Chains A and B, each alone.
Chain A
């Protein structure tokens, strides 16, 4: 004997399932974003001192930038690059994503920690140069399958400039050492 559920019950169950899925997805997304650790040491910034509120903004916006970049390079999506990047950084990452879309490859950055040192803060506060010592688990993907994985300690030189309501990454380049 087959017991049929009323249509209304099915709809309720579907809605509940969708809510659960959305909730879990949201939690996963938040957890992934929150997992990116960013610390800033602005003690050596010159010639201008970095104000505490500016430090908080830079940490927040740099974390957003890396999360967006990770998302863009893992899922080969250009949209995440539109908010936190500008100038050469945006152009370079754009090229990376387009190239990955063509080749079917991807990159996944996991377990990120970033130790930022502010080394230059322009007299008028319109540009800041940061040195990022980053650690992460880097995976290379071929059509979604991990082909290589390694723990990376990388050094990045970062230029950020302020926009109307946030700091944007204008330049991001890996260097062998500082």
Chain B
């Protein structure tokens, strides 16, 4: 009985050794270990190494790339720069008897361009926090650059500089917000990073009318009312087409006429036989009142 057990033990031992040898032999023919780049940069070549001997099928799956090729284990594999243009995770799978995998990360290269969003395209003058811009730095392969970059924002109208601010990107984005200038016209907005500029133009237009003044006089048809040249509070002429409402209040009732500004002045003719009080308004801005006597 004891001999039988001893024989069994020897048998199991022999089997175990054989299994280990076979496993070792199989392992020597398969991929053992994949060494991938620790810091790869988009567009730059890199190499990976797979230990072992014999041949294997190598799969590379990454952003924008998917390849399958036969490789010799134990040799370095060169990856060309144009195969690594997109930043992100690249998965390497090497299959011979079994499959082994590794992942490496390709980061964006140096900034080569700026994406610059500016709002709005048209803005009234002297508005608080009315102009804003957002800039994203990208490398030459259009990968977003996450390493902090200093972006300079410059706003100018004519020869006057309205803003000159340097902002560091956080998570790949830098932004600003500021008030609009005081004079109507083109507002140049520039974001610059190293030698790269992105230029946008915001049209600044006159704000609401300020100190709206009207005059009125009776003529043969009724009362002719008109504004003085209409400006905003910064002295910019209010654009033609802006509506001015004239309201005549007389004993017979109230009547209103809407007149667009033409060549800086709004003008209207109102019917009123008796005396009337006439007021003008544009948007939320009230003008003065004038009293016009009745027809003699």
Contact = CB atoms under 8 A, between A and B. Distances in A.
Which of B64, B119, B136 has the largest count of A CB atoms less than 10 A from its CB? B64
Contacts of A100: 66
B66 A96 contact: yes
Interface in A82-101: 88, 91-92, 95-96, 99-100
B178 to A, nearest CB: 10
Interface stretch (B4-12, B91-99, B183-191, B216-224): B91-99
Contacts of B143: 173
B175 A123 contact: yes
A120 interface: yes
B101 A150 contact: yes
Contact of A157 (B61, B91, B142, B171): B171
B101 A92 contact: no
Contact of A148 (B99, B129, B132): B99
21 contacts: A92-B86, A119-B171, A120-B171, A122-B132, A122-B175, A123-B132, A126-B117, A126-B134, A129-B173, A140-B61, A142-B68, A147-B59, A148-B91, A148-B101, A157-B146, A159-B144, A171-B144, A173-B63, A174-B89, A174-B105, A175-B88
Interface of A: 47, 88, 91-92, 95-96, 99-100, 102-105, 107, 119-120, 122-124, 126-127, 129, 131, 138, 140, 142, 147-148, 150, 154, 157, 159, 171, 173-176, 178
Given A129-B173, A147-B99, 16 more contacts: A88-B142, A99-B64, A99-B67, A120-B170, A120-B171, A123-B177, A124-B120, A129-B171, A131-B171, A140-B59, A148-B93, A148-B95, A148-B99, A148-B101, A157-B146, A173-B63
